[in-house]
């Protein structure tokens, strides 16, 4: 087999096939083009082979084959990374997406989840018992990828990041060992996995802590786009008083054609403040009083709903669906003053497509109460996370969308904390963004871990921490 310059020996392929229970997909396979697609359609890579694993034995066989053949390796869970790390050019994709095993223990309030699950699949199982853990804000993302990067979501201010709910992880290392990482076993590895991503091995199964969650009080309040500046000023003041059960984010985007939104605003730029309160509706009403009074909003789509409905709120949008090209630039911010808001408004008004958006999410609460050195995840004290995201479908539109995203981000850098959430680092950003994000002290510790578990940088299709 030869593709994109890499050649696998027939004997090695025959040996892999005899040891592999899952599906091996090469360029001649009828589902090859579908199997290599990732969420970000901007990524168009052609691996030589895709190994769709059914369990740990398949993962071990795939790693052994890749090492023997000197192949570049990408690891796929949900395939939702903006940088497209789940697929490589001319190498081997170790695809965990068939690994859907999940077991909920309602008495202990824990779940064991294999690495191929999406949040929609995991939430469906845990919600059968009225339980959940902090998941992504979009249910089509992969559980493993979101977790290992840190994991922000609707429950984070009340129950912490996803990594704060991680009890243990099964990890296959580059040299073919299966380890358990927890607070009692391989403790330093456990520290690094919580924020360090897939740098140290392939996580095949996670054990996560669950919390009582069923009905939430959630939805969004909508304002016309020209109110962005006022909405930002209000939102930041409101967020400072948010109780822990309340999570929120402000998004500037093209308003959808929903019947609750006035006809004159459908398809126009608008501001949505999206909220989730996990607690009694009466308490939610009190907590959201000021938010409902501001404006007042042009539309209010807010009330009790199942947690599953909230998690699926962005399904069908470019944030959740495949088939859209994406570019993201992100950063943590403290508080945006008048000069920053003026600059921001100018940037979003200069957007080049109706699909371009800006988002700012409030962190704090339980996220900030975990000690900075307790996990590899960095900058827990940052109060806000923000990002510019451009989306397009016509390749001819790529340059102008990417340029807008970069320029908008650069314009806001003087008002930012200079670092970002590692999961949102795009593939065309400089390598220094990773070290900047973790900071010198954590980076030194992460590099030492990389040397211990992956000294050859076998796992490098990620937010890469080089072994030195």
Position 458 scores a pLDDT of: 98
67 CB neighbour count, 10 Å cutoff? 15
Residue corresponding to tokens 């990389």: 450
Place 38 in a pLDDT band, splitting at 50, 70 and 90.
very high
Share of the chain above pLDDT 70, in %: 99
Instruction: Give 81-107 pLDDT, tens digit per residue.
Output: 999 999 999 999 999 999 999 999 999
pLDDT at residue 151, rounded to an integer:
95
55 pLDDT higher than 70? yes
pLDDT of residue 103: 98
pLDDT tens column, 243-252: 999 999 999 9
pLDDT score of 378 more than 50: yes
Within the chain, all domains assigned CATH 3.30.43.10 are found at 2-95
Whole-model pTM?
A: 0.95
Ramachandran quadrant class, 248 (left: phi over 0; alpha: psi -120 to 50; beta: rest): beta
CATH 3.30.465.10 positions along the chain are 102-212
316 against 114, higher pLDDT: 114
Q: Considering the chain, what is the average pLDDT of its residues? A: 96
160-213 pLDDT, tens digit each: 999 999 999 999 999 999 999 999 999 999 999 999 999 999 999 999 999 999
Mean pLDDT within 233-258: 96
The reported pLDDT for the residue numbered 341 is: 97
- Put the strands of the sheet holding 110-114 in their side by side order: 102-105, 110-114, 202-209, 166-172, 178-182
The dotted CATH code for 102-212 is 3.30.465.10
CATH of region 2-95, choose from 3.30.43.10, 3.40.50.970, 3.40.50.620, 3.40.640.10: 3.30.43.10
Q: Assign 329 a pLDDT band (cuts: 50, 70, 90).
A: very high
Residue 5 pLDDT exceeds 80: no
CATH architecture, domain defined by 215-424: 3-Layer(aba) Sandwich (3.40)
The pLDDT assigned to 317 comes to 83
Answer whether residue 422 shows pLDDT above 50.
yes
CB 129 within 8 A of CB 152: no
* Nearest Cα to Cα of residue 116 among 130, 137, 135, 95: 95
Delimiting residues of CATH 3.40.462.20 domain(s) in the chain: 215-424
- Give 6's pLDDT tier (boundaries 50, 70, 90): low
Assess whether pLDDT exceeds 70 at residue 3. no
CA atoms within 13 A on the CB side of 285: 5
Which H, E and C letters describe 345-388, residue by residue? HHHHHCCCCCCCEEEEEECCCHHHHCCCCCCCCCCCCCCEEEEE
- Work out the percent of the chain whose per-residue pLDDT is above 90: 95
Given a cut of 90, whether residue 314 has pLDDT beyond it is no
Is residue 164 within 8 Å of 372, Cβ to Cβ? no
The band of 365, judged by pLDDT with boundaries at 50, 70 and 90, is: very high
pLDDT of residue 1 exceeding 60: no
- Please report the beta strands in 16-125, taking only residues with DSSP state E, as ranges in sequence order: 23-25, 49-52, 73-76, 92-95, 102-105, 110-114
């Amino acid at each position: 087999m030869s593709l994109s310059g890499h050649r696998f020996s027939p004997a090695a392929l025959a040996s892999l096939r005899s040891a592999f229970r899952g599906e091996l997909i090469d360029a001649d396979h009828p589902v090859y083009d579908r199997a290599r697609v990732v969420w970000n359609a901007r990524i168009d890579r052609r691996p030589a082979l895709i190994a769709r694993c059914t369990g740990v034995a398949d993962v071990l066989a795939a790693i052994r084959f890749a090492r023997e053949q000197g192949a570049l390796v990408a690891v796929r869970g949900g395939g939702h990374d903006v940088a497209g790390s789940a697929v490589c050019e001319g190498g081997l994709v170790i695809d965990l997406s068939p690994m859907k095993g999940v077991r909920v223990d309602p008495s202990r309030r824990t779940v064991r989840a294999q690495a191929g699950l999406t949040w929609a699949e995991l939430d469906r199982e845990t919600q059968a018992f009225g339980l959940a853990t902090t998941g992504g804000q979009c249910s089509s993302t992969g559980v493993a990828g979101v977790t290992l990067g840190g994991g922000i979501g609707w429950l984070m201010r009340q129950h912490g990041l996803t990594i704060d709910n991680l009890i243990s992880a099964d990890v296959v290392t580059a040299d073919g060992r299966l380890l358990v990482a927890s607070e009692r076993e391989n403790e330093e590895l456990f520290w690094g996995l919580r924020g360090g991503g897939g740098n140290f091995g392939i996580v095949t199964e996670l054990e996560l802590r669950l919390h009582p969650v069923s009905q939430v009080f959630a939805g969004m309040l909508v304002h016309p786009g020209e109110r962005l500046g006022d909405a930002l000023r209000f939102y930041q003041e409101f967020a400072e008083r948010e109780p822990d059960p309340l999570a929120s984010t402000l998004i500037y985007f093209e308003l959808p054609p929903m019947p609750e939104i006035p006809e004159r605003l459908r398809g126009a730029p608008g501001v949505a403040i999206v909220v989730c309160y996990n607690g009694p509706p009466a308490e939610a009403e009190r907590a959201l009083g000021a938010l409902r009074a501001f404006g007042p909003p042009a539309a209010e789509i807010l009330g009790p709903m199942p947690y599953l409905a909230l998690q699926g709120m962005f399904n069908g949008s470019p944030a959740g669906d495949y088939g859209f090209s994406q570019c993201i630039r992100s950063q943590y911010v403290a508080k945006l003053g008048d000069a920053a808001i003026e600059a921001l408004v100018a940037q979003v008004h200069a957007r080049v497509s109706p699909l371009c958006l800006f988002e700012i999410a409030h962190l704090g609460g339980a996220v900030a109460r975990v000690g900075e050195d307790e996990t590899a995840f960095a900058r827990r004290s940052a109060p806000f996370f923000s990002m510019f995201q451009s989306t397009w479908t016509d390749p001819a539109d790529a340059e102008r969308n990417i340029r807008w995203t970069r320029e908008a981000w650069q314009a806001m850098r003087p008002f930012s904390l200079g670092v970002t959430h590692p999961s949102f680092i795009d593939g065309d950003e400089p390598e220094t963004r990773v070290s900047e994000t973790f900071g010198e002290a954590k980076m030194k510790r992460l590099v030492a871990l990389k040397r211990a578990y992956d000294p050859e940088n076998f796992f490098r299709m990620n937010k890469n921490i080089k072994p030195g």
